[in-house]
Amino acid sequence: MGVTGWAPTRLCRLACLVGIFLLLLLLCFSSLRLQLPSSTCIWGVRPCRWIGGVPPSKEDAERKPPPSASPPSAATGAALLPQTPSKPQDLGEGFQVGRLQRAFADSLTPSGQILIREYLSGWKELVKFMDSLGAAFGLISGETRTKMAILQENQRGPHGAHYRTVQSMVRFELARGLVGFQSLPAGRPPSGCRTFLRLHRALKWLELFLLKLGTSPEDADPSRMCADAYQEALAPYHSWWVRQAAALAFLAMPSQRELYRILNAGGGDEDKGLRRLLDTVHSIAHVYNATQELYAAHGMLALP
């Protein structure tokens, strides 16, 4: 079926938007009622349980949340990492693709070191871009903010020197048994390596989408491009429910013309904006490939 036939009718889009709204209401209510950590759903690999159907595992049922008033004990190794932050950091002024490109270009040094601070600066721009795609992407950008805040707190914590680069973070957490190749003990704060892996997987999705956007004909459907990129990069790690919520969000995306306007917000001719977009994809791909090689070398690409 061609792109034109695939695009939903106006009535179908309206129905989908209503469905998204109701699904997000149910999601918020259920996640609050079950008190599930957000990291187990969107960027995690375990089944998401916000809409029922899949009972909690024995490990999850027995896991007790750490007390909020006092720090976890050193016996669990939690003293090595800070607690998960509760508030995401303000992302500042609006999205600029030039800033996005520079951040990812600066995050990879000539020697191949991946600088976490610069990497997160690139993600700040990507979150702004996702926010511009509409309210249906709010859940995804909110999850991303949470992951970013965890890594930022690691950098500000007592062991912040070990969280300057991805390489030093991997060495530090592997040496102290903080990664958890099977599972993490109850009460232990999130692993930096696991958290970074969630962002790494999501980065591939956005890299592929931006590449498709920059190389597709003018009449291509952004909803289809985004869905195809998602199926290739992120869908294998998500539950059925998450995949359906994502599919609905993609249907509500802006038009290709509107996306070009967002990506070329700084002004300039369209050809220059397109070259800037492809340069951005190139910078993102370099960082992604370096991370992929590092995680593969340590057998960490399939962390739960």
Q: How far apart are CA 256 and CA 112, in angstroms?
A: 35
Task: Specify whether the CB–CB gap between 101 and 280 falls below 8 A.
Answer: yes
- pLDDT confidence of residue 266: 57
- pLDDT confidence of residue 15: 55
- pLDDT confidence of residue 134: 83
Task: Specify whether the CB–CB gap between 280 and 107 falls below 8 A.
Answer: no
The amino acid at residue 107 is: S
- pLDDT confidence of residue 43: 46
In terms of Cβ atoms closer than 10 Å to its own Cβ (0-12, 13-18, 19+), residue 158 is exposed
Series of mean pLDDT values for 10-residue runs along the chain (304 residues): 45 52 43 35 40 37 40 36 40 80 97 98 95 84 94 96 98 93 77 96 96 91 95 93 90 90 72 87 98 98 91
- pLDDT confidence of residue 299: 96
- pLDDT confidence of residue 16: 54
- What class does CATH assign to 96-304? mainly alpha
* Residue 125 CB contacts under 8 Å (≥ 6 apart), including other chains: 95, 96, 97, 99, 100, 103
Of 246, 238, 302, 303, which is closest to residue 49 (Cα–Cα)?
238
Of 228, 264, 292, which is closest to residue 98 (Cα–Cα)?
264
B/e letters for 225-255, b = 16+ CB within 10 Å, e = fewer, are bbbebbeebbbebbbebbbebbbbbbbbbee
Kindly list the domain boundaries of the chain, sorted by start residue. 96-304
